[in-house]
Amino acid sequence: MDNPKTSRREFCAHAISLVTVASLIEGCGGKGNPGGPGGGGSNVPALPTVSGASAGGTVTVSNVGGTALANVGSAALVQAGNSSFLVTRTAENAFNALTAICTHEQCIVTGFQSGSFVCPCHGSQYNSSGQVTQGPATQRLQQFTTQFTNNVLTITV
């Protein structure tokens, strides 16, 4: 038969462990950051995803006119293999392409609202040129050269 004091000690130790874990999880969310478990912006609309092909240091998106990037002012998350890019169409034949990796804690930036890319983890925001407009990130997103010919977007990595 178990000793009641031992059982109580074990119970208290487990209860304290659970409270500690719950406090740590709450602390990661960062109070005051609206929008979800990471505080970043689950209320922010997600970017549409466009598939690209990666080969030899370039990513290509074929038939851009048939994707979420068809119109000037549009934005999308372009995924090609293990790479992800934030792409905006800035003019009829011009695009901006940025890494989709947040410079704060390397989360994939997936939100877009009011012309800003929003990281879902902690709410960092970037403009379409990759500049930080709201922290906690302090470094801009890496920008890549783009070319648009015959309805095919090429991103040089």
CB count within 10 Å of CB 130 equals 19
Domain that holds residue 19: 1-31
Q: How many domains does the chain have?
A: 2
Q: Looking at the structure, do residues 71 and 109 belong to the same domain, yes or no?
A: yes
Look up residue 89 and give its two tokens. 């169409």
Give a yes or no: residue 94 inside a domain. Answer: yes
pLDDT single digits (tens) 109-118: 988 988 889 9
Q: Looking at the structure, do residues 66 and 109 belong to the same domain, yes or no?
A: yes
Specify the CATH number for the domain of residue 91: 2.102.10.10
Give a yes or no: residue 11 inside a domain. Answer: yes
pLDDT single digits (tens) 22-62: 333 333 333 333 333 344 445 888 899 999 999 989 999 99
- Quick one: pLDDT at residue 8? 54
Q: Looking at the structure, do residues 98 and 151 belong to the same domain, yes or no?
A: yes
Give a yes or no: residue 3 inside a domain. Answer: yes
Q: Looking at the structure, do residues 62 and 120 belong to the same domain, yes or no?
A: yes
How crowded is the C-beta side of 55, counted as CA atoms within 13 Å? 5
Q: Looking at the structure, do residues 124 and 71 belong to the same domain, yes or no?
A: yes
